[in-house]
């Protein structure tokens, strides 16, 4: 058995303070990984890490604003000097700034693209190199079904999520020879803070488009991410997995 199979793996999950990212961090901790929980505010990633430790898992928290390349670079420098090699990266942090195109401000475009997409470029560039050197790694990018279908009022968000899919497929090809897999998960409508503010009418319309007739839970997404980060998924790379109750077939 190789050293990688014995040593507990370290995973970094962005946007781990709430919602889907929190559930992914908890799932990876249950899988036996040490989890570095990243979110914008110290208190939210801190409380996720504390919850994991209270349940017997291993986790630390790190506040990083992923829209800042400087903050990502500084965090990676410090983390890599401590851990040398982080085997698993889940790019989950994301925001929306919805509006119809003619009303969308340039800031709303830039904030969404920097937070959702450019952040992935920086994290993967910095944490991917040790993965390729060690010839084992798992990268999972949390995209969205709107990255596949588009959505009126979400040109910035859909472009960022479609960009994550192109990034995933390109890097899967670049890293494959080093046994580093890169996959994307495209959630449908999941019950989190991101969707809780939506108008009841919008929610009704969304639900009518879900063949399984319910909104997804954060655990539905965490289960898929946990599988893709495991040894069991070693022959899967460059794929996009929709977890959406059958919305996009
Ligand atoms: P959420 O409940 O709004 O949580 C977002 C998380 O991202 C929070 O922990 C937040 O940090 C973190 N975050 C936001 N901006 C950040 C920044 N600049 N730097 C660092 N962390 C930042 O979102 P969610 O619904 O769980 O969504 C998670 C991911 O799934 C997103 O990428 C989203 O686009 C995608 N997704 C969600 C749905 C859905 O229906 N919910 C559907 C498809 C795709 P703080 O806790 O510190 O604020």
| pLDDT score at 7 | 78
Query: Quick check: 16 pLDDT over 80?
Result: yes
| pLDDT at residue 2 is higher than 60 | no
Is the minimum distance from the CB of 195 to ligand 1 under 6 angstroms? Answer: yes
Could you tell me the distance, in angstroms and rounded to a whole number, from the CA of residue 91 to the centre of ligand 1? 10
In this prediction, residue 1 carries a pLDDT of: 45
Looking at ligand 1, which residue's alpha carbon is closest to its atom 32?
94
| 1 vs 3: CA distance, rounded Å | 7
Distance 212 CA to ligand 1 centre (A): 24
Residue 216 in contact with ligand 1 by CB distance below 6 A: no
Q: Mean pLDDT across the chain, nearest whole number?
A: 96
């Amino acid at each position: 058995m190789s050293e990688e199979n014995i040593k507990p793996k370290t995973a970094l999950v962005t946007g781990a303070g709430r919602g889907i990212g929190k559930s992914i961090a908890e799932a990876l901790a249950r899988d036996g990984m040490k989890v570095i929980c990243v979110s914008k505010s110290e208190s939210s990633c801190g409380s996720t890490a504390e919850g994991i430790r209270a349940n017997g898992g291993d986790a630390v928290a790190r506040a990083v604003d992923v829209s800042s390349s400087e903050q990502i670079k500084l965090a990676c420098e410090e983390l890599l000097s401590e851990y040398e090699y982080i085997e698993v990266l889940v790019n989950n942090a994301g925001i929306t700034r919805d509006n119809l195109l003619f009303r969308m401000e340039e800031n709303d475009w830039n904030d969404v693209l920097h937070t959702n997409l450019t952040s992935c470029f920086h994290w993967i560039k910095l944490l991917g190199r040790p993965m390729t050197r060690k010839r084992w790694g798992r990268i999972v990018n949390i995209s969205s079904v709107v990255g596949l279908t588009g959505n009126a009022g979400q040109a910035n968000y859909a472009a960022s999520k479609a960009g994550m899919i192109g990034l995933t497929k390109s890097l899967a090809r670049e890293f494959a020879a080093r046994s580093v897999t890169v996959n994307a998960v495209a959630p449908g409508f999941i019950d989190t803070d991101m969707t809780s503010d939506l108008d009841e009418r919008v929610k009704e319309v969304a639900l009518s488009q879900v063949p399984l007739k319910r909104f997804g839970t954060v655990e539905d997404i965490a289960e898929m991410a946990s599988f893709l980060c495991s040894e069991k998924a070693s022959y899967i790379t460059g794929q996009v997995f929709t977890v959406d109750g059958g919305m996009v077939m």
